[in-house]
Amino acid sequence: MVRTPISSAAGAAVWVASTLMLAVAGSQAAHAQQYPSKPIRIVVPFPPGGFSDVFARVIGSRMSESWGQQVVVDNRTGAGGNIGTEIVAKAPPDGYTLVNGTIGTHAVNATLFSKLPYDPVRDFTAVAFVVEAEGLLVVHPSLPVKTAKDIIALAKAQPGQLTYASAGAGTTGHLAGEVFKTMAKVDITHVPYKGNVPAMTDLMSGQTSMLFATLPTVLPQVQAGRLRGIAVLGAKRSAALPAIRTLAESGLRGFEVNNWTGLFAPAGTSSAIVSKLNTEVLRIMQLPEVQARLPKEGLRFVAMTPQQFGDFVKSEKDKWAPIVKATGAKAD
């Protein structure tokens, strides 16, 4: 075999490139060792009180204890989560500005909005999956139904008369209702509200018939008897309400709609810092006191590497695009 000699210029170029790569790697490692050296901000693009906000605070408080730096949770609401998410997309990629994004900000909104001010994949580095929120179909207690089959039968007997509330067009609750209508072949009327609070208020007063909700939002009302739980929206029954069947068990095979939240950094954040953040989130979410509260609140944690979480986000974006298009929902 004949070896082609490398010219001195080419050899020098290779040496320079290798040296630069080593220098960058060394710089990133050193930066990660020093990180964090100042306060960290976790932007939550929704109002306080939701499960994304609650667990941003759980993570933030324990990070502060572990790392000796303040972690501030900053609620920047509006435009379906786009305002707060855009802030982080445009922040310096240094690990000090993060966003606790959701299925809305990083999957659904890409199709729901004709002009999204950020790209949910290109403009972010996926850091860590935080929690999945189980869903639950609930009705006002006056509605004469106890199972999903009862609702389907009533809806077919009274086409267009049953209503389902949601926190707004394109929200997970709206899309779950549209999937339900398609799979069950029923005609129920969507009533969008500006947020979960007014939607819940009207449901509990009997102004609407039902709601496809995240379980943490409605669990206290179900336990108090103010709402009736009909069916779990996920693939498995909930540990919080083990007697309630899933919609899949009730005849809608393959039905699965769950909300989720996860931590993202701006694109370009060093892999060393992302790895450090991921390791810390996994440590926190697997603490015994955190694990103990999850099933009681209708939440699940899934340990993912940054790569696995990034792949998950892409798959969710692809999954929901045709569903959103089929509903015709737009939020502009």
- Per residue in 213-258, pLDDT (tens digit) is 999 889 999 999 999 999 999 999 999 999 999 999 999 999 999 8
pTM of the model: 0.84
Query: Tokens for 152?
Result: 């389907």
Mean predicted confidence (pLDDT) in 171-179: 90
Mean pLDDT of the chain: 90
- Distance (Å, rounded) from C-alpha 17 to C-alpha 161? 69
What integer pLDDT is reported at residue 1 of this predicted model? 44
Query: Tokens for 124?
Result: 């972010």
What number of other Cβ atoms are within 10 A of residue 1's Cβ?
A: 2
Kindly list the structural domains of the chain, giving each domain's residue range(s) and its CATH number in brackets, ordered by start: 38-133+258-327 (3.40.190.150), 135-232 (3.40.190.10)
What integer pLDDT is reported at residue 250 of this predicted model? 93
- Per residue in 16-69, pLDDT (tens digit) is 555 666 555 555 566 567 999 999 999 999 888 888 999 999 999 999 999 999
Query: Tokens for 23?
Result: 């220098």
- Per residue in 100-128, pLDDT (tens digit) is 999 999 999 999 998 999 999 999 999 99
What integer pLDDT is reported at residue 197 of this predicted model? 84
What integer pLDDT is reported at residue 170 of this predicted model? 80
Residue 5, pLDDT above cutoff 70: no
Q: What percent of the chain is predicted at pLDDT more than 90?
A: 76
Q: What percent of the chain is predicted at pLDDT more than 70?
A: 90
Q: Which of 193, 80, 220 is nearest to 138 (CA)?
A: 220
Residue 90, pLDDT above cutoff 50: yes
What integer pLDDT is reported at residue 291 of this predicted model? 96
Q: Which residue has the tokens 């979480």?
A: 309
What integer pLDDT is reported at residue 84 of this predicted model? 96
Query: With bands split at pLDDT 50, 70 and 90, how would you rate the model's confidence at 2?
Result: very low
What phi and psi values does residue 99 have, to the nearest 5 degrees? -130, 135
- Distance (Å, rounded) from C-alpha 156 to C-alpha 232? 21
Query: Tokens for 82?
Result: 């786009």
Bigger pLDDT: 240 vs 169: 240
Q: E strands of the chain, at which residues? A: 40-44, 71-75, 97-102, 124-133, 135-139, 163-166, 189-192, 210-214, 228-232, 259-266, 299-300
